[in-house]
Amino acid sequence: MTRFLTALFCLAFGLNLALTSAQAETFSAAEKKSIEAVVQDYLMQNPEALASALQNMQAYYEQAEETRIQRTIAQNAELLFRNKADFSMGPVDAPVTIVEFFDYNCGYCKRVFPVLMEVVNQREDVRVVFKEFPILSDSSEVAARTALTLDNQLNFLTFHARLMNNKAGLNDGFISQTLADLELDERTIVAQRSSQRITDILDENRQLAQALDVAGTPAFVIGNQVYPGALEKHEFEAAIEAALAAQSGSAN
């Protein structure tokens, strides 16, 4: 009901603006009030007309938002797909890049992790970029900062997989043990993870997420679309094929 009333208000507000503009040229206040009464009566007597207007309005705003998202992706393509600060997996020259915004405490991120790995391991035309987006807790921030200090892709992927496969709560002890298992110098990493460089990377990721209306995890950018939530394998495949088709279409 609230959504319906909000839409109705917007519709009425747009009408008022139109009549106010016309009034300056033609209508008196009384005439304007009379016209509004006629329109209101018509809509009350013909609710299907109102329903159609609301559907058209919703479709218009959805299309406008999709266009805005596509423009934002294009404007930020370097930061999204080719940022050297991000770790990635898959061929560098893959025609399709999947960008994942994730949090190490996100249960849905953990659920989608093996699915995403299966997709990238089975396809040679897909690359994954990992965007650290810690939003759920302080330990998410610590884990993300720790991951970004790692010195090579193998260490990152091992650390990433260990945390994504962890079903228990994430804490400093688990992070420390993971670093020890990888034979990494925890003292050096702890000192580096509070650096301004790491802060700048995370701030940049948050700004990108905000621009793309990404408010939760996981979220994936594939081609020129944003896909929120833990996708199933067939949904990844469909998104990849759509991105490939869009590339083929733009090349013709």
Provide DSSP, 172-192: HHHHHHHHHHTT--HHHHHHH
CA distance 117 to 84: 21
- Each residue's pLDDT, cut to its tens digit, for the chain (252 residues) gives 334 444 444 454 444 444 444 444 566 777 767 767 776 777 677 777 666 666 766 666 666 666 778 899 999 999 999 999 999 999 999 999 999 999 999 999 999 999 999 999 999 999 999 999 999 999 999 999 999 999 899 999 999 999 999 988 899 999 999 999 999 999 999 999 999 999 999 999 999 999 999 999 999 999 999 999 999 999 999 999 999 998 877 655
DSSP of 191-211, one letter per residue? Answer: HHTTSHHHHHHHHHHHHHHHH
Which is it for the CA torsion 16, 19, 24, 30, positive or negative? negative
CA distance 26 to 6: 29
Runs of H (alpha helix) within the chain: 2-23, 29-45, 47-75, 77-81, 107-122, 138-149, 153-164, 172-181, 186-192, 196-211, 233-251
Give CATH for domain 78-251.
3.40.30.10
Which amino acid makes up residue 207?
Q
**The pLDDT of residue 18:** 45
Nearest Cα to Cα of residue 146 among 103, 109, 202, 190: 190
Question: Are the CB atoms for 170 and 140 separated by under 8 Å?
Answer: yes
Question: Are the CB atoms for 213 and 193 separated by under 8 Å?
Answer: no
